Amino acid sequence: MRRTPLAVAALAAFLASTATAAPQAQPAPQPALARVVILATGGTIAGVQPKEGEAGYQSGAVSVESLVAAAPGLEKLAAIEGEQIASIGSQDMNDFVWIKLARRAAELLASPDVDGIVVTHGTDTLEETAYFLHLVLKSDKPVVLVGSMRPSTELSAEGPSNLYNAMSVAASPEARGRGVLVVANDTVHAARALQKTNTTSVQTFISVNRGPAAEALKGTKTHWFLPPAATAPKGTFSIAGLDALPRVDVVYAHENADGVPVKAAVAAGAKGIVLAGVGDGNATKEMVDALAEAAKAGVVVVRSTRVGSGVVRRNIEVNDDKLGFVAALELNPQKARVLLRLALTKTKDVKDVQRIFEEN
């Protein structure tokens, strides 16, 4: 039988209608975004200039919502929530805000609905807050502090870029188990290692003795230099029931220094004193004698150095065993003060405090 073109077309249509359709390729499911909470405390990153071009600015004037809006692309990195813990310049950071921040961070980290935390903070005392959180938070989840040297309204403000990189690190599974971190100027630092080294430069944070933990560049995978064990979270101390920490003062050694600052600290009720010593944590005989008297009276004395790098070891230039002092090792005076304040919530025994410095 001869088929006409119409019959052939009809047959083809029938066969097509009865054939099993070939399965269509389905797009791969997108992984769920990490859930990251921003805890804002103020600082230059949230600062505004009264007038364009002026050097001065008001810290902590911008809300967490405005910070997020100023960093395009954050919504692609994580599902973000924000909370305002404080709105202060970090020169005004205090125990009340520290404890409030640490407790809220601990609550969030304990939640299965939170994968990481970013803390926005002024740069002046950022290294102290980072180290404090490193010592009191017990979680493998990323906690990342971030700040900026230029206010949000200044030309070429680096805050949005820093926040983007901080969010990228906080949302990364590779950042787990690395302790509290700080992100600034495309660099990731361990809380224990970094220090502020310049009054105005965006490259102010440097990990002098140990080097940075990683490099974080927008659009690229974070490149880690240090293994997780090198910066692992401590969570050595509990702040349960605390409203404030023991008073610890820092005294500064210099040419012709006497014992007046030491005696003033003792009279003010200091439970501990950190010496920002010359060289390897040393001071004039008059100041060392005053520190020794304070130690005899039960004040815990820790020797650190005003020098920007290096390690203050026991019994090198000062006989710590004889005088009852503690050596700060690689901690600068401001971080030695943080650790000593927490150590004093556990013990006043000098040997125990020295062990705490060696382990934290």
**Using an 8 Å Cβ cutoff, are 129 and 174 in contact?**
no
The sign of the dihedral angle between the CA atoms of 314, 205, 170, 118 is positive
Distance CA 84, CA 221 (A): 29
Q: Which of 250, 251, 254, 316 is nearest to 280 (CA)?
A: 316
pLDDT for 241 = 92
Distance CA 179, CA 131 (A): 10
Burial of 263 (0-12, 13-18, 19+ CB in 10 A): middle
**Using an 8 Å Cβ cutoff, are 303 and 324 in contact?**
no
Phi-psi region of 104 (alpha: psi -120 to 50; beta: other; left: phi over 0): alpha
Predicted confidence (pLDDT) per residue in 272-320, tens digit: 999 999 999 999 999 999 999 999 999 999 999 999 999 999 999 999 9
Could you list the pLDDT tens digit for every one of the 360 residues in the chain? Answer: 444 444 444 444 544 444 455 556 666 666 789 999 999 999 877 766 666 656 566 666 678 888 888 888 999 999 999 999 999 999 999 999 999 999 999 999 999 999 999 999 999 999 999 999 999 999 999 999 999 999 877 888 899 999 999 999 999 999 999 999 999 999 999 999 999 999 999 999 999 999 999 999 887 889 999 999 888 988 999 999 999 999 999 999 999 999 999 999 999 999 999 999 999 999 999 999 999 999 999 999 999 999 999 999 999 999 999 999 999 999 999 999 999 999 999 999 999 999 999 999
pLDDT for 48 = 67
pLDDT for 30 = 66
* DSSP letter for each residue of 135-152: HH---SS-EEEE--SS-T
What letter represents residue 353's amino acid? V
**Using an 8 Å Cβ cutoff, are 156 and 100 in contact?**
no
**Using an 8 Å Cβ cutoff, are 162 and 234 in contact?**
no
Domains of the chain with bracketed CATH:
35-50+57-224 (3.40.50.1170), 248-359 (3.40.50.40)
Query: In angstroms, how far is CA 80 from the centroid of its own chain?
Result: 19
Beta bridge partners of 116: 36
**Using an 8 Å Cβ cutoff, are 250 and 337 in contact?**
yes
Distance CA 147, CA 46 (A): 9
Catalytic residues: 44
pLDDT for 160 = 92
Distance CA 141, CA 106 (A): 10
Strands (E), the chain: 34-42, 78-88, 116-120, 143-146, 180-184, 187-190, 195-196, 205-206, 214-215, 223-224, 248-252, 272-277, 300-305, 325-327
Distance CA 6, CA 34 (A): 59
Distance CA 148, CA 144 (A): 14
pLDDT for 53 = 57
For the record, the structure tokens of 298 come out as 């039960």
271 in helix, strand or coil? coil
